[in-house]
Amino acid sequence: MVNELISGIPEFMWDNIFTVINTLICGLIVAFFTSTFLKKKEERTRIAGVILEKRINSEQDVLHFLEREFFKEEINIENSSKYDVAFSELLETYGLPDPHEGHIQYARIFISFEKFASFFHAFEDKITTHKLWLDTKVRTHLVFMQLYFSTFNTIPLMVKRIRLPEGKELSDEEFEKVCDRVLYILGISCDGEINEFMSELDELIVDSVYKLELKRPKRSMMRKNMYNVDMKKCMKRVMRKTIVGTAQKNIFQLVMDTVYRVKGINLSEMTNEEYDDFLKSSDPKMYQEIQEEMQEFHKNLEKLAEENGVKIVHRKDLEKYSGEYGISLKDLFEGKEIKKTDELI
């Protein structure tokens, strides 16, 4: 009876039934994939929101910390500019830039090495605490700034390398005074450069918020114990494009002169004998090496003079050779022409 009932249904009704079933199945399939896609998109949006919130909070915390620590101070006292002039001349003497053209200002972290050390450790802690949420470019720039400021920590090492005569070593108070003085001068010279780094950091932070990048970086700066290409790029930038990198010789000269000034030593006023005794007492090993090199040099010079048929005489004995021709050792190295001995006296 059922079969007869089914067979009695017109064919067009069967077509409509199959069409309805087919439509229903297709709708269910589309709804399943749509809901799955929307759930994933909703989950990604939720995660992106969390990351964005964490990133904004982390980067804002680091930026506010640096802005607070880099609060500017000036040396002007009672509206007098004499201190500005003195420091401008000092910077010029050692070939260090004067970023504000005579108007001396600096970040307060450079007042003393104690303040700088406190800042540096706090800065490292900030990077370590927030590095998980920082944008890749922001983190790279902060690591660069960390390397940059770490170069200031080499000042005490440079001070220790300055040789002094026995009995004239730096006391703890003098050592601290020299370190603070050199740090202070470098803080003045590097103020404009630090401002540029802060402007770059601010720009990178804004880009990281408005151009949210959720992809995991392919390479981390922490890989291989931080001995990697990205870290080398940061080091090259520090050494080749910053004051503390390109002016290393000038900075070492500043350190040496500051040490000698604190100890009351004036090399320019020493006689040859006094300088000889100073060098022999402060660094006997170097003194011995210099003596050996000088002996070898004099030996080669006498040999060269003998081969070319010339005499080597002291300047005070030139009167005995009046009317003849000669050349000083300095002029010889500079490639100048020979002169009459009367002109050399």
Segment 206-260, tens digit of pLDDT: 888 777 666 666 666 655 555 667 788 888 999 999 999 999 999 999 999 999 8
Residues 159, 60 share a domain: yes
More confident residue, 68 or 284: 68
Residues 137, 99 share a domain: yes
Helices 272-282 + 284-308 axis angle, to 10: 130
Residues 115, 225 share a domain: yes
Residues 205, 112 share a domain: yes
Whether residue 28 is contained in a domain is answered as no
Whether residue 112 is contained in a domain is answered as yes
For the record, the structure tokens of 327 come out as 């050349």
CA angle 109, 110, 116 (to 5 degrees): 55
Whether residue 10 is contained in a domain is answered as no
Q: Which of 109-123, 152-166, 269-283 has the highest mean pLDDT?
A: 109-123
User: From the CB of residue 149, how many other CB atoms can be counted at a distance below 10 Å?
Assistant: 20
- What 3-state class would DSSP assign to 110? helix
Residues 73, 159 share a domain: yes
Share of the chain above pLDDT 90, in %: 31
For the record, the structure tokens of 61 come out as 């915390």
For the record, the structure tokens of 94 come out as 């050692």
Secondary structure element (H or E) that encloses residue 72, with its range: strand 72-74
Helices 172-189 + 113-130 axis angle, to 10: 60
What is the full DSSP assignment across 88-122? Answer: HHHHHHTT---TTTT--EEEGGGS-HHHHHHHHHH
Q: Is the pLDDT of residue 266 over 60?
A: yes
In which domain, by residue range, is 283 found?
272-308
Q: Which residues contact 115 (CB under 8 A, 6 or more apart)?
A: 108, 109
Q: Taking the CA of residue 175 as centre, how many other CA atoms within 13 Å lie in the half-sphere pointing to its CB?
A: 15
- The one-letter code for the residue type at 30 is V
- The one-letter code for the residue type at 207 is D
Q: Is the pLDDT of residue 15 over 80?
A: no
Long-range pairs of 319-327 with CB within 8 A, sequence gap ≥ 24: 319/345
Q: Is-contact 140 123, C-beta < 8 A?
A: no
Whether residue 14 is contained in a domain is answered as no
Domain end, chosen from 231, 265, 299, is at 265
Q: pLDDT tens digit string along 151-196?
A: 999 999 999 888 888 778 889 999 999 999 999 999 999 999 999 9
Whether residue 1 is contained in a domain is answered as no
Residues 287, 173 share a domain: no
* pTM of the predicted structure, to 2 decimals: 0.72
Strands 105-107 and 325-326, bridge-based pairing: unpaired
Residues 331, 243 share a domain: no
Residues 324, 210 share a domain: no
Instruction: State the burial class of residue 205 (Cβ atoms within 10 Å of its Cβ: 0-12, 13-18, 19+).
Output: buried
For the record, the structure tokens of 261 come out as 């000034």
Whether residue 254 is contained in a domain is answered as yes
Whether residue 17 is contained in a domain is answered as no
Secondary structure element (H or E) that encloses residue 6, with its range: helix 2-7
Whether residue 45 is contained in a domain is answered as no
Q: Taking the CA of residue 14 as centre, how many other CA atoms within 13 Å lie in the half-sphere pointing to its CB?
A: 7
Number of compact structural domains in the chain:
3
Q: Is-contact 184 111, C-beta < 8 A?
A: yes
- The one-letter code for the residue type at 200 is E
Residues 222, 107 share a domain: yes
Residue for token digits 């001068």? Answer: 185
In Å, how far are 162, 257, 259 from 264, measured between CA atoms?
Answer: 14, 10, 9
| Strand boundaries in 235-286, DSSP class E | none
Short-list 56, 223, 231, CA closest to 142: 231
